[in-house]
């Protein structure tokens, strides 16, 4: 395999007590937004929360992760599926990419079916603006059920 890719994950502070089970499982299985690493050697080198709205930890976390060799930061699926979805997600992505010249991916684990059903019913992701934000974690129905 080629060189190891170090990644970091930033989660929504609403889930600050999350043990990371779905993110770590999908990382191991290369599912959801982690499917871009199929056949690649990866290492989780950072995991933290945004520190709550409006994301007071984003800048510090990005700097620390980059210092530790992270080359890709994932903004966790919880920022997308929480209700309401994170209103700062695009700002976080832009800031991290520009300030640290790093790749930022929206999403970690596949969107669970129960969240897709709720957001579909509520029309949360109906705009063209949301399509690129949910696409990396939009798996097949069987996988979505498996992550419920």
Tens digits of per-residue pLDDT, 48-101? 999 999 999 999 999 999 999 999 999 999 999 998 999 999 999 999 999 999
Q: Is residue 2's pLDDT more than 70?
A: no
120 bridge partner residues: none
pTM: 0.94
Cα distances (Å, whole numbers) of residue 147 to 9, 39, 140: 18, 22, 11
Tens digits of per-residue pLDDT, 91-141? 999 999 999 999 999 999 999 999 999 999 999 999 999 999 999 999 999
Which domain does 20 fall in, by range? Answer: 5-146
Look at the chain and report how many structural domains it folds into. 1
The Cα 1–Cα 14 span in angstroms is: 37
CATH number at residue 114: 3.40.50
Residue recorded with tokens 């957001």? 119
Strand, coil or helix: what is 5? strand
- Our CA dihedral for 105, 109, 115, 116, rounded to 10 degrees, sits at 70
């Amino acid at each position: 395999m080629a060189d190891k890719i170090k990644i970091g994950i930033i989660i929504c502070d609403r889930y600050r007590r999350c043990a990371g089970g779905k993110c770590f499982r999908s990382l191991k299985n290369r599912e959801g937004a982690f499917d871009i690493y199929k056949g690649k050697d990866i290492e989780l080198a950072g995991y933290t929360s945004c520190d709550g709205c409006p994301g007071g930890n984003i800048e510090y976390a990005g700097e620390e992760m980059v210092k530790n060799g992270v080359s890709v930061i994932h903004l966790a699926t919880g920022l997308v599926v929480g209700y309401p979805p994170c209103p700062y997600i695009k700002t976080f992505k832009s800031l991290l990419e520009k300030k640290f010249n790093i790749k930022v991916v929206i999403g970690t684990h596949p969107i669970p079916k129960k969240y897709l059903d709720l957001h579909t019913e509520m029309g949360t992701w109906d705009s063209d603006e949301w399509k690129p934000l949910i696409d990396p974690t939009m798996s097949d129905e069987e996988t979505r059920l498996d992550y419920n």
